[in-house]
Amino acid sequence: MTKLVLGPFNRVEGDLEVTLDTVDGVVEAAYVNSPMYRGFEEMLLGKAPLDAQVIVPRICGICSVAQSVAATTALRNLAGLEPAPNGRLAECLVMACENLADHLTHFYLFFMPDFARPAYAARPWFAKVAKRFKAVSGEAAAEVLPARAAFMHLMGLMAGKWPHSLSLQPGGSARPLEQAEILQLIALLRDFRRFLERHTFGDQLEAVAELDSLDALAHWRDGRRGDFALFLELAEDLGLDNLGRAADGYLSYGAYAAPGGLLFPAGVWAGDLRSLDTERIMEDPSRAWLDGYPSHPAEGQTRPVPDKPGGYTWCKAPRYGGQVLETGALSRQMVAGHPLLRELVLAKGGSVLARVLARQLELACVLPAMERWAQSLRVGEPWCHQTALPQSGSAAGLTEAARGALGHWLMVKQGRIAGYQIIAPTTWNFSPRDADGVPGPLEQALVGVAVDEGSGDSVQVQHVVRSFDPCMVCTVH
């Protein structure tokens, strides 16, 4: 057996180390280490509850709005408050902007450049892919960065800035829009649609969103221009549908709470769809450099023990009724019942292909929803209700970041934060082993992957890791 330590792992958010036990060039066991600890859950204790809105977005620069929404939702639930309808729409729009920008950044800047590596020089698609996706110098980045920056003007209009906005409040949004600003918003959404339709999909978003089977996808791809079709071509050639299978359990807290209801529902899919029961969530610190025992996050604690025997990460292991679940765009769409993704997962299980495909389909599904939300904003109607928090109480705030299920569990005593626990999407996906020794999703997904034991390099390992779009700064926080 050979032991390989991979790191620093780049083009992920934050720092990641992966240790692989390999036999004959194949991964037999993987151990995922989140090597940085800052202690946000400790920092928050004793603060004024609304200060969480300043502090928690700064856990993560790429999921900053999601962190803000989770905290805001917990505070909202603590206050028993219903936000103003304009405020709900604003929250959906700001959140969707972050999530779609993250999907775009992941695809173009983090994930695709690995296919432009010399390891693939002999593949028939290599010249096209290298020209387009080479890290830093590829032509796609030069198109995507301005398009992304222009799309993020939504944040300038509706959130002041990104990352680290304070505009989303328990009662709605502190940033009312005037008529002229709503029109600017609609215009910039159309501009981003134009970019996606021209460069990413080579088709109307609605046509992509409606692809409902593997056959329909194959037919649609035939002769199609655009970056998505290029990805599908190389994915087929490399068999990315057979790479990176985890436990095939999928968690979603439900996304985009618009006034008419959630755009994507909450639930758990593990062979079939089940309703979400958050009481079944436990966090297990057994293999983390943390004290404590498995507990529900409402009772959870975070106390570092740097020399703990058996520890190999700062990340706790979340489990759902003891079950390993993954989370992210694929999970959201499995729970929502997207027919193409359900067919793919039932046939082959979760995979690099399925995770990346789900993000692309979300780009096509969510932007039209944003256009509807923007049209529903009403000048002159309220944006934000006044918040009055109780002196004591407990509440949870659940939301969906780009990377999946994000939960905050808040306890307030005598007007101060007395407990704050966070389970981020990559805490689920990159969790270590639990007390029973069951590996987390990435640890399972890496088993069986081929590795060059000499150099320790494996571009396939890179694909599997990045297919989860990990956010390491959220993972441990």
Residue 101 makes CB contacts below 8 A (sequence gap 6+) with 148, 151, 152
CB of 26 to other proteins, least distance (A): 18
Nearest residue (CB) to other proteins, 137 versus 391: 137
CB of 337 to other proteins, least distance (A): 32
Nearest residue (CB) to other proteins, 294 versus 304: 304
Nearest residue (CB) to other proteins, 108 versus 228: 108
- Residue 417: closest CA among 172, 54, 5, 130: 54
Q: Which amino acid is at 285?
A: P
Nearest residue (CB) to other proteins, 175 versus 221: 175
Residue position matching structure tokens 């088993």: 447
CB of 416 to other proteins, least distance (A): 10
Secondary structure class of 362 (helix, strand, coil): helix
CB of 126 to other proteins, least distance (A): 14
CB of 266 to other proteins, least distance (A): 27
Rounded Cα distance between 64 and 13, Å, is 12
The DSSP bridge pattern shows strands 26-33 and 17-23 to be antiparallel
Dihedral pair phi/psi, residue 456, rounded to 5°: 80, 0
- Burial class of residue 162, CB neighbours in 10 A (0-12, 13-18, 19+): buried
Nearest residue (CB) to other proteins, 200 versus 252: 200
Nearest residue (CB) to other proteins, 191 versus 436: 191
CB of 165 to other proteins, least distance (A): 6
Nearest residue (CB) to other proteins, 354 versus 471: 471
Query: Distance of CA 170 to CAs 251, 444, 453, Å?
Result: 25, 39, 52
CB of 362 to other proteins, least distance (A): 19
Query: Distance of CA 93 to CAs 88, 109, 154, 206, 259, Å?
Result: 9, 23, 8, 19, 12
Secondary structure class of 159 (helix, strand, coil): coil
